[in-house]
C-alpha cells in the first residue's frame, strides 16, 4: 500500500516536472521569437531609413560637424588670437568651408568608430618611427660599406586593403621608410622600389600591411595582434 502511494507520488512529481519543463520551453521559444521579431523590425526600420535618405542626411550632418570641429582646431592653431572677434570670424569661415567640403574629409569611411581609428593610428606612429630609424641605419650601413651590396628591385604585390585611405597610409608609410619607395598603385597592386634584399623581404613579410589593416578595421582579415589578444583571453578563460 505504501509502496504504491510512493510510486504514485513519484509519478506525479515527474509529471509536474515535465509540465514545468514544457512551460519553460514554451516561454523560451516565445522569447526567442519576440527577440527575432524585434531585431527584424529594427533591421527593417534601418533599411527603410537608408532608403528614405534619413540615414544619409544624418551622415551628412555628422560629417559637417566633424569637418567643422577639425577645421576650427586647425584655425585656432593658425590664428593664435583668442579674442571674440577673431574666434567668431574663424567659426564663420570654418562653417562656410565645412558646408562646401563636408563630403571630402570623411568620404569612403567604411565602418564604425572614428575614435578607435584615431587611437590606433596614434599607436601606429611610434612603431613607424622605429621602423624608419632601423631602416635608416640599414641604408646608412649599405652606403658606408665600400662594396655597397645593394640589389635594387621592383616588387609587385596585391594588397588586401580595401579603402583608399588605408592604401594611401600604407603607400606613404612605405615611402617614408628609407630604402623603399611606392612608385604606383594600380587596381590594388603595389609597385614598390626596394634598395636591398633585406628591405624587400621585410616588405613582403607584410607586417606593415597588417598593422595598417588593423588601424582601419578592415574586418575580414586575421591580424597577428588580434590573434595574440584572443590567445591571452583564451588562456585567462581556461585558468
Positions touching another protein (CB under 8 A) are 67, 71, 74-75, 78-79, 81, 86, 89-90, 93-94, 96-98, 100-101, 104-105, 107, 164-165, 167-168, 171-172, 182, 184-186
Cell numbers at 30, concatenated: 516565445
Cell numbers 535618405 correspond to what residue?
Answer: 53
Which CB, 27 or 189, lies closer to another protein? 189
Q: Which is nearer to another protein, 93 or 228 (CB)?
A: 93
Whose Cβ is closer to another protein: residue 4's or residue 186's?
186
Nearest-approach distance from CB 219 to another protein, in angstroms? 20
- The DSSP line for 128-161 is HHHHHHHHHHHHHHHHHSTT-----EEEEEE---
For another protein, give the closer residue by CB, 139 or 165: 165
Phi, psi of 25 (to 5 degrees): -60, -45
C-alpha 200 chain-centroid distance:
26
Q: Distance (Å, rounded) from C-alpha 122 to C-alpha 59?
A: 25
Cβ-count burial 45-55 (b if 16+ within 10 Å, e if not): eeeeeeeeeee
Q: Name the minimum Å distance from CB 206 to another protein.
A: 19
To another protein, the closest distance from the beta carbon of 68 in angstroms equals 10
Measured CA to CA, the distance from residue 127 to residue 97 in angstroms comes to 34
Min dist CB 158 to another protein, Å, is 14
Reference 225, options 238, 237, 213, 239; nearest CA is 213
- Minimum Å gap between C-beta 96 and another protein is 7
* 116, 217 contact by CB (below 8 A): yes
Q: What's phi and psi for 211, nearest 5 deg?
A: -65, -40
Q: Specify the residue, 90 or 179, whose C-beta has the smaller distance to another protein.
A: 90
C-beta of 171 vs 215, nearer to another protein: 171
Q: Least distance in Å: CB of 34 to another protein? A: 46
Amino acid at each position: 500500500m505504501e509502496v504504491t502511494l510512493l510510486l504514485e507520488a513519484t509519478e506525479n512529481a515527474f509529471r509536474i516536472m515535465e509540465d514545468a519543463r514544457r512551460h519553460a520551453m514554451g516561454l523560451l521559444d516565445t522569447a526567442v521569437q519576440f527577440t527575432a521579431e524585434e531585431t527584424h523590425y529594427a533591421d527593417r526600420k534601418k533599411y527603410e531609413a537608408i532608403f528614405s535618405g534619413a540615414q544619409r542626411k544624418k551622415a551628412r550632418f555628422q560629417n559637417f560637424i566633424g569637418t567643422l570641429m577639425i577645421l576650427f582646431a586647425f584655425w585656432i592653431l593658425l590664428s593664435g588670437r583668442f579674442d571674440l572677434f577673431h574666434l567668431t570670424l574663424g567659426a564663420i569661415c570654418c562653417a562656410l568651408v565645412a558646408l562646401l567640403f563636408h563630403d571630402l574629409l570623411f568620404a569612403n569611411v567604411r565602418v564604425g568608430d572614428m575614435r578607435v581609428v584615431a587611437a590606433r593610428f596614434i599607436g601606429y606612429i611610434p612603431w613607424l618611427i622605429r621602423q624608419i630609424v632601423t631602416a635608416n641605419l640599414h641604408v646608412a650601413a649599405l652606403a658606408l660599406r665600400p662594396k655597397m651590396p645593394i640589389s635594387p628591385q621592383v616588387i609587385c604585390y596585391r594588397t588586401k586593403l580595401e579603402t583608399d585611405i588605408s592604401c594611401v597610409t600604407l603607400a606613404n608609410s612605405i615611402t617614408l621608410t628609407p630604402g623603399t619607395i611606392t612608385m604606383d598603385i594600380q587596381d590594388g597592386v603595389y609597385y614598390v622600389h626596394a634598395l636591398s634584399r633585406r628591405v624587400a623581404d621585410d616588405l613582403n613579410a607584410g607586417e606593415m600591411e597588417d598593422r595598417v589593416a588593423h588601424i582601419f578595421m578592415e574586418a575580414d582579415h586575421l591580424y597577428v595582434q588580434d590573434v595574440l589578444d584572443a590567445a591571452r583571453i583564451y588562456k585567462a578563460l581556461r585558468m
